[in-house]
Structure 1
Amino acid sequence: MSSGKWDDLAPRLFSAVAMVVVGALGVWLGGLWFHAMISVIVGLMVWELVKMLDTERSKSALVLAMTAGAVAMISIELPGAFALPLLLAPSMIGLGRMEKGGVTYAVFTALILLAGYGLMALRDDFGLTWMVWLLLVVVVTDIAGYFAGRLIGGPKLWPRVSPKKTWSGTVAGWVGSSIVALLFAGSTQAGIGLVGVSIAVSMASQIGDIAESAIKRRSGVKDSSNLIPGHGGLLDRFDGMLGAALFIVLAGQLIGFPPGTS
């Protein structure tokens, strides 16, 4: 076994265990505790985004991060019609504070806020079961992709932007999400159609991962930050969840949610 391939496995596992414990507790408790956890994550992701795009804006990064976190916490308590403009406010505020990467900041921050809002709404409206389903699809996609990519290798998905991503790992993520779907289809009323939805969620999480990789490549950084040993920053860890949550927000308007029960 080549040790170089697995040098980052130990810190990744330790950090992953810590994140799973904290995340599982927040998801289990739900309500205000879950809202607070998501709001902190949203704020830190925006902080990382600003630091990547405009390294000279440390003060602005802190201000925008606190604004985003506060907006996330407040918006979920408001009717949807009033939450929407509030969710876009940090993007508009940031445009006036960024010397570089303003458009990228505005778009990605809007996506972060909408995804955070979607996760809170999913937990509040549909309960623990469907929150666990979404988390498992994203986590299994990541784990299956990690191990298949290193054990099987093969052609790269998009080497210019994400040189470690392989087609074998990508497809393994789809297979893993299908297995998760079959487990939940048998224990809910979702039916076999959940397999298709889960594969699409897996794809959306992979797109979120690649989108964040593109920003890092453009900014010339390896990780969004060093907050999480073995994983980089929160954007590095939750980019897949960002894409998946956004997909659920959009897909829920087309097919209804939970899948197959409407």
Structure 2
Amino acid sequence: MTTPPPIPAKWDDLTVRLTSSAAMVVVGAAGVIMGGIWFQMLVVFVTAVMVWELWMMIRPKEPTKGMLLAALVASIMSGQLVENSPWGMLLFLIVPVIGVTQLNTEKKTFFIFALGIQVAGWGLVHFREDFGFFWLLWLMSVVIVTDIFGYFAGKAFGGPKFWPAISPKKTWSGTVAGWIGAAIVGFLFTIFTNAGLWVILISVILSFAGQMGDIAESSLKRRMGVKDSSTLIPGHGGLFDRFDALLGASLFLIVVADVFDVPGVVF
């Protein structure tokens, strides 16, 4: 009986990544499908944890403050999602401001990322409520397929780095493959919806926005000298590592929805 050949080193994390991804897909899909309070609770939890991870990257020796800020994020987001007041959006400034007062360094970094995380989380919930399950599925599919195509193409083909100073592992082959994957998702949605072919272009731009979210978090980790935002998810690091692209995509869609204003024009 022959022994199967060992898995090449560049693929040695694949099993763990796939297992963790499957678990996240199941939980995420359940929340997205059910919508309402269930999806809100999922987004509030993920958002609060990401703010905690952000704090821990900057100030790892004071975890209690990070947990208190995360609890405050959960409270503010829960209240804002229920009331949905335009003025209530100003409450998203509370945690960034408090964090800044407690930090000696990286004040701007914490402020920008903490605010962006909360706004992106709020945007995801309202995207689900305003446009429905199908288009949230499109958003998530673009981000997930971009990541999958990028991962396998980068591992298989390698080549020139996309932005080596910030993200040494990302290659042009993986980046472009992500755009191709997003375009395929967009094309499939033109088949099953009444959206025009322009959704293919929007999907590619959305893919790029997600990649920029990934790049932004990679830049933060590089500056903080950490490999992952945390160790919560085997093979993926933390929730911030896993959802950074979704944050970038969500912020992009908030801008698009605001510019076009009318849901029917955009989707």
Aligned to 2:3: none
1:180-191 matches, within 5 Å, as 180-191=185-196
TM superposition score normalised by structure 1:
0.96
Give the conservation status (yes or no) of the 8 Å contact 1:193–1:260.
Answer: no
- Describe the SS at the equivalent of 1:224: coil
What stretches of structure 1 of length at least 5 have no aligned partner?
none
Give the conservation status (yes or no) of the 8 Å contact 2:257–2:266.
Answer: no
Cα distance in 1, alignment partners of residues 138 and 24 from structure 2: 17
2:136 to 131, 135, 152: 131
Shift, 1:57, TM fit: 2.1
1:232 to 223, 234, 237: 237
Cα distance in 2, alignment partners of residues 213 and 139 from structure 1: 18
Give the CA RMSD over aligned residues: 1.5
Deviations 1:105-127 (A, max 9, x none): 11100000000000000111111
Deviations 1:98-145 (A, max 9, x none): 232221011100000000000000111111001100000000000000
Cα distance in 1, alignment partners of residues 88 and 251 from structure 2: 16
The answer to whether residue 266 in structure 2 is matched with residue 223 in structure 1 is no
Cα distance in 2, alignment partners of residues 91 and 114 from structure 1: 12
Cα distance in 2, alignment partners of residues 229 and 258 from structure 1: 38
- Describe the SS at the equivalent of 2:82: coil
Please say which structure displays the higher CA radius of gyration.
2
- Describe the SS at the equivalent of 1:163: strand
Amino acid at match of 1:110: L
Instruction: Give % identity.
Output: 47
Give the conservation status (yes or no) of the 8 Å contact 2:179–2:207.
Answer: yes
What stretches of structure 2 of length at least 5 have no aligned partner?
1-5
How many residues in Structure 1 have an aligned counterpart in Structure 2? 262
Aligned to 1:79: 84
Deviations 1:131-187 (A, max 9, x none): 100000000000000000011111001112111100010000000000000111122
Cα distance in 1, alignment partners of residues 48 and 266 from structure 2: 34
Cα distance in 1, alignment partners of residues 9 and 261 from structure 2: 45
Give the conservation status (yes or no) of the 8 Å contact 1:161–1:210.
Answer: yes
Misfit runs of 4+, over 4 Å: 256-262
TM superposition score normalised by structure 2:
0.94
Cα distance in 2, alignment partners of residues 188 and 80 from structure 1: 32
Cα distance in 2, alignment partners of residues 76 and 32 from structure 1: 10
Aligned to 1:143: 148
